[in-house]
Amino acid sequence: MVIWLIICNFGKYYSEPMEQSLIIIKPSGVERGLIGPIIGRFQQKGLVIAGLKMMMLNEDLLRQHYAHLVDKPFFASLIKSMTACPVIVMCLRGKDAIAVIRSLVGPTNCRNAAPGTIRGDYGMSSQENIIHASDSPENGIIETNRFFSPEEIFDYIPANISYIYSPDERD
Ligand code: UDP
Ligand code: MG
């Protein structure tokens, strides 16, 4: 009976409407002492942390991650910036998580980002812009799989889930 209830609820929480995003707290966020405040913002919002670790990025991985930018004049500088120190990578989950997270993060150039957003509150740069967040549900899955192995992602149901979503929002 207990196992049956767990299986039912698991299906409810992780069914199609729940999206996932890769987050990277970039060297600009790590070196400026912003790991705690940034993780705190996502937790306070009600997003679920399904994976979290510190790692050193390398050029091979970044060429895949930033494949859409390899021909840009700033690409070499971007690689240097992203490999300057270890980063924090996270897998966050939630309903409409991609749009919710992108709105919490703000636009690419921190100088254009509104107060209250992460980039608006913490940055002044287009490149040293504190954080990465996935830009579509498809990329959320692709990017998470690129940075995490399956055993590093945890499919648990948070104990406070019924205070974050109504039952119909979890269907
Ligand atoms: N970037 C840069 N110069 C630019 C545009 C982007 O250095 O003129 C860097 C910046 O760090 C940005 C990353 O490249 O976060 C990826 O660019 P994208 O357009 O995907 O922006 P994002 O999705 O991070 O807002
Ligand atoms: Mg992007």
* Ligand 1 pocket test target in 108, 119, 136, 142 with most atoms within 8 Å of CB: 108
Closest C-alpha residue for ligand 1 atom 8 = 126
Q: In what order do the strands lie in the sheet with 87-95?
A: 48-55, 87-95, 18-25, 131-133
Provide mean pLDDT across the span 112-117. 98
Closest C-alpha residue for ligand 1 atom 10 = 127
Q: pLDDT, tens digit, for every residue of 132-168?
A: 999 999 999 999 999 999 999 999 999 999 999 999 9
Measured in angstroms, how far is the CA atom of residue 50 from the centroid of ligand 1?
25
Q: pLDDT, tens digit, for every residue of 15-47?
A: 456 999 999 999 999 999 999 999 999 999 999
